[in-house]
Amino acid sequence: MNASSERSASLWGRHSSIEAPSLEANATAEVAVIGAGIAGLSIAYELARSAKEVVVLDRGRIGGGMTARTTGHLASELDDYYHVLIEKRGVDAAREVCRAQIEAVDRVETIVREEGIECDFRRLDGYLFLAPGTEPTLLEKEYEAARRVGLEVAWADRAPIPGVRTGRCLRFASQGRFHPLKYLDGLVEALRRRGARLYGDTIVNDVAEEGDGGVVVRMAGGAEMRVRACAVATNSPFNEVEVHYKQAPYRTYAIAGRVPRGSVEDALFWDTLDPYHYVRLQPADDASDWLISGGEDHKTGEADDMEVRFALLESWTRAHFPSFGAVEHRWSGQVLEPVDHVALIGRSTTGRNIYMATGDSGQGLTNGVAAGRLVAALIGGRELPYAEAHDPQRAVRSAVKEFVVENLDAARKLAEKVTPAEVGSADEIKPGEGAILRQGLKKLAAYRDPSGAIRSVSAECTHAGCIVSWNPFEKCWDCPCHGSHFAPDGTAINAPAVEPLGGQNS
């Protein structure tokens, strides 16, 4: 199982249409890639192109992780802003990050063309406009920074939104958009044509480097795979400790409704609120497009007012895009925000032949594609120019303040072990809902199923012991510390956790 078993489904569906068997027996390969989202499949694709023998393993359906929940902007403009990145990491690192983002959009375009993938890929402009109440000089700062790092940017008198006065805004040329799951389907077909093997419903619970430099990948079912190198692309790595001090998980929300074709320009739109709104179109039928609108993010586990957030998102969308029809799709997902705003891609701390890709942030698609090129280059003994900027082992000195704040939050969640429980008794929990209950010194994650039966498990996350929170929209348990999600019965469905919430006593 993976995040495809959370309650909502995106406009794209729950997962790719590709079927893959589970792996039950011991096996060998040159490289194992763990995780079949945009990052894992991009890594596998680049390796297969350089004639490596690749195996992809996923705990659930192929493409059933956060990639199925994306909104599919392919942006080289940075959602945390280049002027902020320059302050944190300096202009040289910012140039490398910009180059990686530009090359990622180019790479998608090339792969789509060379592999004949029909995924509605299109190049288009992106518009960043000032939201009321946000810093008035933000656009000027970003304009200067974008030019310094080598990004194509220009001023526009207004964003092309009929009837809405956005004021002067920034226009970024050559951004992109696609249908993420059609793209993954195309990648998988291209992988299979090159002999790669893919397995779903195969939970990996350990990777370890051996004395000879080989890597053993251990599956929950007991099978083992011996490989020369392994890439962990599980969105949040299950085999790392240190990296979890460099990023934090956030839930984000999206809605989709139809607009008459031509009533909104086919472009990407962002405002400058924090959290910001993000908008794009997707062809629906001959006469209409889907307008997809996202935002209202919060730190994972720190909100249960999802209906309020969806209402705010809808009202902002209607105010800015008056032709927006009924909301036909609503979904949420999670991104991992690195404290210095740069994805963590490269060699793992756990072994020279173990690699990783995480810290996706709101640019997880372009970061996933960049991870494909970076990790494949490293495994092939080459370095790409932007490897250093993304090195997961980098110090985050310039982000010390945020580092401390993110980890105080995590520490606070651990401290919740000694604070009162959320409800006094299971009687207060309605059918289809969950809550935290105290049982002596322990905390339980209790869920009442639609038939009225209570199932309770330990509320301590099996990754590192934080207390989980009930997510009333997705009907799952979210861990606020490093991004794990669990099904109502405690089954782990999102990394880094692998084991179910323990001590089942239903």
Question: Stretches 45-53, 163-171, 282-290, 479-487: which one binds ligand FES (CB under 6 A)?
Answer: 479-487
- Does position 348 bind ligand FAD by CB under 6 A? no
Minimum CB–partner distance for residue 1 and ligand FES (Å) = 16
Cis peptide upstream of residue 275 (ω within 30 degrees of 0): yes
- Does position 235 bind ligand FES by CB under 6 A? no
Question: Stretches 66-74, 285-293, 337-345, 477-485: which one binds ligand FES (CB under 6 A)?
Answer: 477-485
- Does position 365 bind ligand FAD by CB under 6 A? yes
Tell me the C-alpha distance between 150 and 164, whole Å. 30
Say if CB 326 and CB 287 are below 8 A apart: no
Q: Is 477 strand, coil or helix?
A: strand
User: Of 295, 300, 463, 493, which one interacts with ligand FES (CB under 6 A)?
Assistant: 463
* Partner that binds at residue 59, options ligand FAD, ligand FES, none, CB closer than 5 to 8 Å by kind: ligand FAD
- Does position 483 bind ligand FES by CB under 6 A? yes
- Does position 6 bind ligand FAD by CB under 6 A? no
Residues facing residue 434 across a β-bridge: 447
Burial class (CB in 10 A: 0-12, 13-18, 19+), 129: buried
- Does position 313 bind ligand FAD by CB under 6 A? no
Determine how many CB atoms are found less than 10 A away from the CB of residue 329: 15
Minimum CB–partner distance for residue 203 and ligand FAD (Å) = 5
Site size for ligand FES (CB under 6 A)? 12
Minimum CB–partner distance for residue 430 and ligand FAD (Å) = 27
* Partner that binds at residue 365, options ligand FES, ligand FAD, none, CB closer than 5 to 8 Å by kind: ligand FAD
User: Of 176, 257, 295, 333, which one interacts with ligand FAD (CB under 6 A)?
Assistant: 333
C-beta of 456 vs 462, nearer to ligand FAD: 462
C-beta of 437 vs 492, nearer to ligand FAD: 492
- Does position 421 bind ligand FES by CB under 6 A? no
**CA separation (Å) from 341 to 162, 256, 364, 390, 481?**
33, 28, 12, 10, 18
Tell me the C-alpha distance between 150 and 92, whole Å. 11
In this structure, what are the phi and psi dihedrals at residue 230, rounded to the nearest 5 degrees? -140, 135
Bridging pattern class, strands 288-299 and 169-177: unpaired
- Does position 372 bind ligand FAD by CB under 6 A? no
User: Of 251, 280, 390, 482, which one interacts with ligand FES (CB under 6 A)?
Assistant: 482
C-beta of 43 vs 497, nearer to ligand FES: 497
Report the candidate in 355, 354, 337 with the shortest Cα–Cα distance to residue 346.
355
Minimum CB–partner distance for residue 363 and ligand FAD (Å) = 4
Quickly list DSSP for 228-297: SEEEE-SSS-SS-SGGGGSEEEEEEEEEEEEEETTSS-SSEEEE--SSPPEEEEEE-SSSEEEEEEEEEE
Minimum CB–partner distance for residue 282 and ligand FES (Å) = 32
Minimum CB–partner distance for residue 414 and ligand FES (Å) = 8
Tokens 């982000």 label which residue? 399
Tell me the C-alpha distance between 119 and 157, whole Å. 32
- Does position 375 bind ligand FAD by CB under 6 A? no
Say if CB 462 and CB 501 are below 8 A apart: yes
C-alpha dihedral over 379, 382, 386, 387, to 10 degrees? 40
User: Of 461, 476, 498, 501, which one interacts with ligand FES (CB under 6 A)?
Assistant: 461
- Does position 293 bind ligand FAD by CB under 6 A? no
Site size for ligand FAD (CB under 6 A)? 42
> Which residue is closest to ligand FAD by CB?
364
* Partner that binds at residue 461, options ligand FES, ligand FAD, none, CB closer than 5 to 8 Å by kind: ligand FES
- Does position 496 bind ligand FES by CB under 6 A? yes
C-beta of 6 vs 142, nearer to ligand FES: 6
Cis peptide upstream of residue 496 (ω within 30 degrees of 0): yes
Burial class (CB in 10 A: 0-12, 13-18, 19+), 431: exposed
- Does position 249 bind ligand FAD by CB under 6 A? no
Interacting positions 177-196 with ligand FAD (CB under 6 A): none
Question: Stretches 154-162, 393-401, 427-435, 457-465: which one binds ligand FES (CB under 6 A)?
Answer: 457-465
Tell me the C-alpha distance between 321 and 313, whole Å. 12
Q: Is 426 strand, coil or helix?
A: helix
Quickly list DSSP for 25-45: S-EE-SEEEE--SHHHHHHHH
**Chain residues that interact with ligand FES, rule: CB under 6 A:** 461, 463-466, 479, 481-484, 496-497
Q: Which residues bind ligand FAD (CB under 6 A)?
A: 2, 34-40, 57-60, 64-67, 69-73, 203-204, 233-235, 238, 252, 254, 294, 333-335, 360, 362-366, 368, 495, 498
